[in-house]
Each structure stands twice: as C-alpha cells, then as structure tokens.
Amino acid sequence: MIKVYMNKRLCKLNRHDITSQLGDIHQIVAAPKFLCRSCARSSSDKNTLCKPAAIPSASTKLVSEGKKQLRSGTSNGMTDKGKKVAKRSEKQSKKALKKQKKVLKKLEKVLKQQQKLLKKHPALQVKFADVNQRISAVSERSLQRQIH
C-alpha cells in the first residue's frame, strides 16, 4: 500500500501525490470492486474510498438481466418494441392529458375573471353616466358664463 493512503483516501489525494505514486494507484484500481458515491473513483479496496459502494460483477448483472427478460417476456408475451411503443403511447397520452388539464384550468380562470368583470360592469356604467352628467353640467355652466 501507499504511504499516503494511511492518512488520506484516494478521494482526498492531490495531483502531486497521484503523479508521484501512479504505479501503486494502478495496482489498487486494476480490478475495481468498489466505487466512491461522492466522487465516482473506483478501487479494489473499500478503505481507500470515502463513500464506497460495491460494484456488482458483470456475470451477476447478465444473469439478473436475463432472468428479468425471461419473466417479462413470458408473462406479457410482448416484444421489446411492443413494450416501447406501449410505453411511449402511454407517456404521450399522459402528456396530452396533463396539457388538456392545464388548458382547462386556464379557461376556468379566464371565465371566473370574466364573470367578475361582468358583475362590476353595471356599477361602472352608472359611475360613468354620473361623471358624464357632471361634465356636461359643468360645460353648460361655463358656456353660459362665456355668453353673458
């Protein structure tokens, strides 16, 4: 093992330490079994990483994926393309439904605002008529004063 690793983990090494002890680092990283969750470095020893996570071997991955495909293929009887198409169409329908709900919500908001304005409209018309009467009365008085 490298002297520096006694005090520091691989994640904490600076560039100078890495370049000076590159050969030893290659031995540790040659067949990685662990991966650091914080900085994504790999190592064969979990003690050299700050947040180690075990890397599953390739053979167990292939076996588990094969079992999943067998289970899904026999239970549904659908091909991968069929599943992808079904998933895509389901996703598109969900997206369309979401968009439709959004548009409906906007329309309801506009309708509510329009009803609110319609309630205010008669009161505003009365005020407008009152203001017009006052203006016409004032203008008539000013005309009469100018004539006399």
DSSP 8-state assignment for residue 36: E
Report residue 93's pLDDT band, with 50, 70 and 90 as the boundaries.
very high
Q: Are 10 and 36 in contact (CB under 8 A)?
A: yes
The residue with greater pLDDT, 43 or 93, is 93
Q: What residues pair up with 43 in beta bridges, in sequence order?
A: 34
Report residue 4's pLDDT band, with 50, 70 and 90 as the boundaries.
very low
- How crowded is residue 10: how many other Cβ atoms within 10 Å of its Cβ? 23
Separation CA 121–CA 119 (nearest Å): 6
Separation CA 72–CA 56 (nearest Å): 22
DSSP 8-state assignment for residue 125: H
The residue with greater pLDDT, 75 or 9, is 9
Report residue 133's pLDDT band, with 50, 70 and 90 as the boundaries.
very high
Half-sphere exposure of 132 (CA within 13 A, CB side): 6
The residue with greater pLDDT, 81 or 105, is 105
pLDDT (0 to 100) of residue 8: 58
